[in-house]
Amino acid sequence: MSFAAVTGRAVRWGVMGTGTIAHDFVKVLQALPNCEVAAVGSRSDEGAARFGDAHNISGRHGSYESLARDDSLDIVYVATPSMRHVDDSLLCLEAGRHVLCEKAMAPSLQEAKKVVDKAVAEDRFFLHGVWSRFFPAMAEIRKTLRSGIIGDVYAAHASFGQNDGAGQASATLETGIYCAQFLQWAFDGDAPESVEGVSYSLADSGLDQHVGALLRFPGDRIGTFECSLRHPTPRGATICGSKGVLQVPFPFWCPTQFSVQTMTGLGSQDWSEPQTYTFDLPAVEGPFNFVNSEGLLYEAQAVNDCLAQGKAQCDQFDHRENLAVMGVLSEIRGRWGGS
C-alpha cells in the first residue's frame, strides 16, 4: 500500500543541499506519484531561492537547521558533501525527520554507528543512499546466483576508478563504497572475515586517491576491488563460480545489464555463449548530471514504500549490511590512519 493510501496524503520530502545530485534526485522524486518535494534547504537564502525556482519547490530554507526543523516534512534527503553527512543526518534525526543520506554516510564505522544508533533511538527511518541496491538488475543477479547456474561462488571483483576528485575526497568513500557493497551482494550478504591486504596511494591532501583491497569471506571465498579518483578503470564487476562467470559491465553500480557464461569440459574448453540480461531504466525526463540517474527512482520508491509500511530500514540495505560495509571501508582507511 502506498503512503498516500495509508495516510491520505503524499510523502513530504525536504532536500538538503543544492548541488548536482540534489538536482538529479529531485527530478525522480517529482516523477513519482504520491510524493512531493515540499522544501529545499541551502546554506543561503539565495541558494534556496535559486534551487526552489529551478525545481518549482515552494518551501525554502536559508539554513540546514531551519529545513531540519520544518515539521511539515516527513523526510530529508541529505545531499551535502560527504564530510558533512554525519552532522547533517544527526541534525535531521534529532529534529524528528526521517533521513535518506547520500553516500558516503560517514568517514568511519564509529561515526556511522552514531547515526544509525540515533535513528534507532529516535525511532526514525534511516537509509544510507547506496542506490545500487534498488536496481532490478541487482535483484536479478541475486536470483541468478542463487539458481546455481554459475555454481558455487568463490570470487568477486569490482573496479571503480574515475579521473575526478583526487585529493578532494577519499576514493574509498566515494567509489570504493560501491565496490564493497557489490562484493557483499555477490556473497549473499555475508561480511568478510578479514581485510587481508590493502595497497594505497595518498594525495598531497592526505586523502586516498587510489586503493586496491583484498578481502577474505567465510567459506574460502575471495573478494577484490580497486577504486580511484585519479584514473579511470573499466568500472565493471565480475562474479566467479565453479561453473561460470557473471559479468556486470559499466556502470556496475547502477546496472542495466549483466551476462552469464558457463564453462565445462577438459581445460574448460566448452563454454556457452554469454546470456545477456537487460533492463530498461524508468522513464524520467532529464537532463541528469550522472549516468543512469533515472534509476534513483527505484531507491526513492523503496523509501516511500518503507514510510508507508512504517519500516525504519530498507531490506535491500539494512543497518546490518550497511554497518558491515562501513566496517570494511573503515578498516581499509585505518591502514593509513584515515578518519
All 3 cell numbers of residue 156?
568477486
In this complex, which beta carbon is closest to ligand LJPVP2WV, that of residue 116 or of residue 296?
296
Buried/exposed 131-141: b ≥16 CB within 10 Å, e otherwise = bbbbbbbbeeb
CB neighbours of residue 328 within 10 Å: 27
Establish if 290 lies at the interface with ligand LJPVP2WV (CB under 6 A): yes
* Residue 19 contacts ligand LJPVP2WV per CB under 6 A: no
162 binds ligand LJPVP2WV per the rule CB under 6 A = yes
Cell of 39: 522544501
Work out whether 121 is an interface residue with ligand LJPVP2WV (CB under 6 A): no
Identified binder of ligand LJPVP2WV from the candidate list 152, 272, 291, 315, rule CB under 6 A: 291
> Closest CB to ligand LJPVP2WV belongs to which residue?
290
Residue environment code for 280-308, b if the CB has 16+ CB neighbours within 10 A, otherwise e:
eeeebeeebeeebbbbbbbbbbbbbebbb
What's the CA gap between 207 and 229, in Å, rounded?
Answer: 10
CB of 107 to ligand LJPVP2WV, least distance (A): 16
Q: Quick one: CA dihedral 108, 112, 117, 122, positive or negative? A: positive
Minimum CB distance to ligand LJPVP2WV smaller for 172 or for 262: 172
The interface with ligand LJPVP2WV within residues 52-91 (CB under 6 A) comprises: none
φ, ψ of residue 37 in degrees (nearest 5): -85, 100
19 lies in the binding site for ligand NDP (CB under 6 A): yes
Reference 139, options 322, 315, 329; nearest CA is 315
Q: If contact means CB under 5 to 8 A according to the sort of partner, which of ligand NDP, ligand LJPVP2WV, none does residue 162 touch?
A: ligand LJPVP2WV
Pair 208, 170: CB distance under 8 Å: yes
Per-residue binder mask for ligand NDP (CB under 6 A), 33-72, x = binder: ---------xx---x-------------------------
Amino acid at 198: V
Grid coordinates of 157: 571483483
Contact between 79 and ligand NDP by CB under 6 A: the answer reads: yes
Please list the residues that pair with 129 across neighbouring strands: 102
Task: Tell me if 82 sits within 8 A of 302, measured CB to CB.
Answer: no
DSSP label at residue 72: T
Rule CB under 6 A: choose which of 13, 77, 126, 131 binds ligand NDP. Answer: 131
Rg for the chain (alpha carbons), in Å? 20
Name the binder of 176 from ligand LJPVP2WV, ligand NDP, none, CB < 5-8 A by kind. none
Nearer to ligand NDP, 221 or 235 (CB): 235
Using CB under 6 A as the binding rule, whether residue 20 contacts ligand LJPVP2WV is answered as no
Q: Given the rule CB under 6 A, which residues bind ligand LJPVP2WV?
A: 162, 174, 253, 290-291
Q: Given the rule CB under 6 A, which residues bind ligand NDP?
A: 17-22, 42-43, 47, 79-82, 84, 102-103, 129, 131, 174, 290
